[in-house]
Amino acid sequence: MSVETTTESAPAPKKGTNILLGLTLLGLLLFLWLLLGLSTNAFWSPNNISNLLRQGAMTAILAVGQTFVIITAGIDLSVGAIVGFTSVIVAWLLQAGVPLWAAIILTLLMGVAIGAFHGFGIVRMGLPPFIITLATLTSLRGIGLLITNGSTISINHEGFTNFSRTDFLGVPSLFWMVILVAIPAFVFLHLSRWGRYLFAVGSNAEAARLSGVNVNRTIYLAYILSATCAAFVGLLLASRIGIGNATQAEGWELQAIASSVIGGTSLFGAVGSVHGPLLGAFILATINNGANLLNVNSFWQRIITGLLIIVIVYFDQLRRRGSR
Partner 1 sequence: MSSLEELSHRHEDEAKLAESETVPRGAPILELRGLQKKYGLVEALKPATVTFLAGEIHAIVGENGAGKSTLIKLLTGVIRRTAGEVFWCGKPVQLATPTEAIKRGINAVHQEVVLCAHLSVAANMFLGDEMDRYGLMRKGAMERAAQAVLDDLGFLLPAGALLGSLTIGQQQLVATAKAAMRGIRFLIFDEPTAYLTRQESAQLFRLIRRLRDQGVTIVYISHRMEEVFELADRVSVLRDGTHVGTRLISETNDNELIALMINRTIEQIYHKEKVPIGKTIVETKGLSGPGFEDVSLTVRSGEIVGLYGLIGAGRSEFALGLYGRQPLSAGEVFWDGKKVDIRNERDAMELGIALAPESRRDQGLCLNLPIGLNINLPIFKRLSSGLVIRKGDEAANADQQIRNLSIKTPSRRVLASAMSGGNQQKIVIGKWLSHGARLFIFDEPTVGVDVGTKAEIYRLFGELLKKGAGIILISSYLPEVYELSDRLHVFRGGRLVASHDHRAASHEDVLTQAIGI
Exposure of 58 in the CB half-sphere (CA atoms within 13 A): 28
Q: At closest approach, how far in Å is the CB of 319 from partner 1?
A: 12
Cβ closest to partner 1, residue 18 vs residue 51: 18
What is d(CA 115, CA 109) in angstroms, rounded to the nearest whole number? 10
Q: In degrees, to the nearest 5, what angle opens at C-alpha 26 toward C-alphas 20 and 31?
A: 125
Answer yes or no whether residue 194 interacts with partner 1 by CB under 8 A. yes
What is d(CA 288, CA 277) in angstroms, rounded to the nearest whole number? 17
Per-position x/- string for 141-160, each x denoting binding to partner 1 as judged by CB under 8 A, each - no binding: --------------------
Cβ closest to partner 1, residue 268 vs residue 314: 268
Q: Please select the residue that binds partner 1; options are 203, 247, 292, 301, rule is CB under 8 A.
A: 203
Question: What's the CA dihedral at 105, 107, 109, 114 to 10 degrees?
Answer: -170
Among the candidate windows 132-140, 151-159, 208-216, 246-254, which touches partner 1 by CB under 8 A?
Answer: 208-216
What is d(CA 238, CA 161) in angstroms, rounded to the nearest whole number? 7
- Chain positions 86 to 115 lying near partner 1, rule: CB under 8 A, are none
Q: At closest approach, how far in Å is the CB of 276 from partner 1?
A: 16
Q: At closest approach, how far in Å is the CB of 124 from partner 1?
A: 15
Q: In degrees, to the nearest 5, what angle opens at C-alpha 256 toward C-alphas 180 and 263?
A: 80
Read off the amino acid at residue 50.
S
Cβ closest to partner 1, residue 138 vs residue 211: 211
Answer yes or no whether residue 183 interacts with partner 1 by CB under 8 A. no
The interaxial angle of helices 79-95 and 215-241, nearest 10 deg, is 60
Answer yes or no whether residue 192 interacts with partner 1 by CB under 8 A. yes
Q: At closest approach, how far in Å is the CB of 149 from partner 1?
A: 44
Q: Please select the residue that binds partner 1; options are 212, 297, 299, 310, rule is CB under 8 A.
A: 212
Cβ closest to partner 1, residue 220 vs residue 252: 220
Q: What are the DSSP calls for 202-243, one per residue?
A: HH-HHHHHHTT--HHHHHHHHHHHHHHHHHHHHHHHHHHHSE
Other Cβ atoms within 10 Å of 39 Cβ, number: 11
What is d(CA 44, CA 56) in angstroms, rounded to the nearest whole number? 16
The torsion angles phi and psi of 78, rounded to 5 degrees, stand at -90, -5
Q: What are the DSSP calls for 34-75, one per residue?
A: HHHHHH-SSTTSHHHHHHHHHHHHHHHHHHHHHHHHHHTT--
Answer yes or no whether residue 206 interacts with partner 1 by CB under 8 A. yes
Per-position x/- string for 18-47, each x denoting binding to partner 1 as judged by CB under 8 A, each - no binding: ------------------------------
Answer yes or no whether residue 11 interacts with partner 1 by CB under 8 A. yes
Q: Please select the residue that binds partner 1; options are 112, 143, 209, 309, rule is CB under 8 A.
A: 209
Answer yes or no whether residue 207 interacts with partner 1 by CB under 8 A. yes
Q: Please select the residue that binds partner 1; options are 49, 270, 296, 313, rule is CB under 8 A.
A: 270
Among the candidate windows 22-30, 48-56, 83-91, 268-276, which touches partner 1 by CB under 8 A?
Answer: 268-276
Q: Which residues form the interface with partner 1 (CB under 8 A)? A: 1-3, 5-7, 9-15, 187-188, 191-194, 196-197, 199-200, 203-204, 206-214, 268, 270-271, 322-324
